[in-house]
Amino acid sequence: MTQSEIGLIGLGTMGAMLALNIAEKGFAIAVWNRTTEVTQRFVANAGDLAPRITATQSLAELVRSLKAPRAIILMVPAGQPVDDQIAALTPLLDEGDMIIDAGNANFRDTNRRAQDAAKGGPQFLGIGVSGGEEGARHGPSIMGGGRAQDWARIEPVLQAIAAKYEGTPCATLMGEAGAGHFVKTVHNGIEYADMQMIAEVYGVMRDGMSMPAAAISGLFDGWNKGPLQSYLIEISAAVTAVVDQKTNRPIVDVILDRAGQKGTGRWTAIEAQHLSAPIPVIEAAVMARNTSARLEERLKGEARFGAAPQTLPEGALMPQDLEAAMIAGKILCYAQGFALISAASDEFGWALPLPEIAKVWREGCIIRSAMLNDMAQALAEEPGRNLIFAPFFADHLEKSHKALRKLVAQAALCGLPLPALASGLAWFDMMRTGRSTANMIQAQRDFFGAHGFERIDGGADHHGPWALQGG
Ligand code: NDP
């Protein structure tokens, strides 16, 4: 039997497309899927690429059909299925063979699996893959984690299948162990926030300005030619333009407003809390998905308190205000996301390459956008600096934050909820307040818990005279 260069387990949405992408780039690939009929159907539909694909019916056959040292990609749901596959493969593998988890793993699981590899198990890489079905088929963005020598073995395949930004493959080793999956998790957190901010502005146009979906689509389309140019704005223009064949209404108007999630946004928020890294825009986006899921409660709220959204006064907001506000929101959100990555890099000793992360996100992934190229440049100038202080983005914010304030204020007066955009604005205002209100927090903490405080005229661990006053 001719042996394949690489193996892949899990022919679902992503795995099937990745396997075709790998075969198309000239690599012979062997595949295995838990349900054998799926494998058979996959190969039957592989067309011209079928000769480069070996369908296998068992893990032992998959392993036998691979050249040593072997490299096997897992594309199965995160968590237990990954551990189960590693456990099933391990006895079949030889020294030097490698397992690559390409699903959306929690980076803490990837750290654990990398530790098991270091103790003598199969070599292990954790790679985050973004781009959805289309990206997997024609060029995803790939964020790697693991040992440099393991990455080097698989790098030619990953760089061949990855998206290219002006010829540069969007596939980079981010650092050791779970570093790649951590970066992918934050990518997804930013994705939640980007989507939420778009949905919020859509809501202002729909409910506050009574704009039909087709007009909203036209605006998104226009924004996609300016600083907001991005895949998510592009698809938002596309989905608002589509008409439902059954009802002849815009399809967005017949889609139930209950958002799903698989947990990567939540992981981002949890890790940010562990790291004390402020990412309010992403946290608000996760909260918004959770609240959207509570449809029955929301309906009860509307019945009890009356519907929140009201029409905005005529001329209160212009389309250019919305675009400028979105620009400000996007900068604030990404500044928070990169600051979280920077905090994780310090905490876990990863030396994460921030400019390279921005570069890897320029093509292939769901958050790809024109602005990421500017972010890559700003981060290359001074990687440790918060993006809001990079001159290019500081100038943008100076111009656009007033529109964000106008939007948030007008929306609040009219009951239009903008959790992500409003929390971005609140964070921005906190970041430009030299004298905050935390002195009050410190006084309260000292009053009830004798926690002590610093004085503005110097010295730490002072206490107030509360006890004397009966506190
Ligand atoms: P699908 O649900 O489409 O496919 C899952 C695949 O895993 C199927 O081949 C299924 O086999 C197999 N599988 C499920 N459970 C087990 C198990 N316990 N043991 C062995 N095989 C199993 O998932 P996706 O392709 O969408 O996702 C795969 C991974 O990629 C996930 O980690 C996901 O988070 C990640 N991802 C998904 C993206 C997307 O846009 N869909 C984007 C980026 C990452 P069977 O046919 O037998 O059911």
Q: Which of 5, 184, 283, 330 is catalytic?
A: 184
Q: Respond yes or no: is residue 25 known to be catalytic.
A: no
Whole-number Å distance, alpha carbon 105 to ligand 1 midpoint, is 12
Report d(CA 439, CA 161) in Å as an integer: 54
pTM for this prediction: 0.96
Whole-number Å distance, alpha carbon 11 to ligand 1 midpoint, is 7
Q: What is the pLDDT of residue 2?
A: 79
Tell me if 146 is assigned to a ligand binding site: no
Is there an atom of ligand 1 within 6 Å of 89 CB? no
Whole-number Å distance, alpha carbon 14 to ligand 1 midpoint, is 7
Give, in order, the Cα–Cα distances in Å from 428 to each of 67, 262, 335.
54, 29, 10
Tell whether domain 185-431 is in CATH 1.10.1040.10.
Answer: yes
Give, in order, the Cα–Cα distances in Å from 374 to each of 256, 378, 380, 393.
36, 6, 10, 9
Whole-number Å distance, alpha carbon 2 to ligand 1 midpoint, is 28
pLDDT averaged over the chain? 96
Asked if the domains 6-177 and 185-431 are classified in one and the same CATH topology, the answer is no
Q: How far apart are the first and last CA of the chain?
A: 83
Residue 471 pLDDT class (50, 70, 90 cuts) = very low
Q: Respond yes or no: is residue 225 known to be catalytic.
A: no
DSSP 77-138: -SSHHHHHHHHHHGGG--TT-EEEE-S---HHHHHHHHHHHHTTS-EEEEEEEESHHHHHHH
Report d(CA 23, CA 391) in Å as an integer: 44
Q: Which of 191, 200, 323, 363 is catalytic?
A: 191
The answer, yes or no, to whether residue 114 has pLDDT greater than 70, is: yes
Burial of 269 (0-12, 13-18, 19+ CB in 10 A): buried
Beta bridge mates, 169: 164
DSSP 271-287: HHHHTT---HHHHHHHH
CATH of the domain spanning 438-469, picked from 1.20.5.320, 3.10.450.30, 3.40.50.300, 1.10.10.10: 1.20.5.320
DSSP 191-222: HHHHHHHHHHHHHIIIIIS---HHHHHHHHHH
Is there an atom of ligand 1 within 6 Å of 12 CB? yes
The answer, yes or no, to whether residue 470 has pLDDT greater than 50, is: no
What residue ranges do the domains of the chain occupy? 6-177, 185-431, 438-469
Residue pair 121/345 in contact by the 8 Å Cβ criterion = no
Q: What is the pLDDT of residue 213?
A: 98
pLDDT tens column, 216-272: 999 999 999 999 999 999 999 999 999 999 999 999 999 999 999 999 999 999 999
Is there an atom of ligand 1 within 6 Å of 77 CB? yes
Is there an atom of ligand 1 within 6 Å of 40 CB? no
Tell me if 35 is assigned to a ligand binding site: yes
- 């929306």: which residue's tokens? 411
The answer, yes or no, to whether residue 326 has pLDDT greater than 80, is: yes
The residue type at 29: I
Q: What is the pLDDT of residue 469?
A: 56
pLDDT tens column, 32-61: 999 999 999 999 999 999 999 999 999 999
Atom of ligand 1 nearest to the CA of 35: 47
- Two tokens at 298? 């929301």
Is there an atom of ligand 1 within 6 Å of 320 CB? no
Residue nearest to atom 42 of ligand 1 (CA): 132
The CATH architecture of the domain made up of 6-177 is: 3-Layer(aba) Sandwich (3.40)
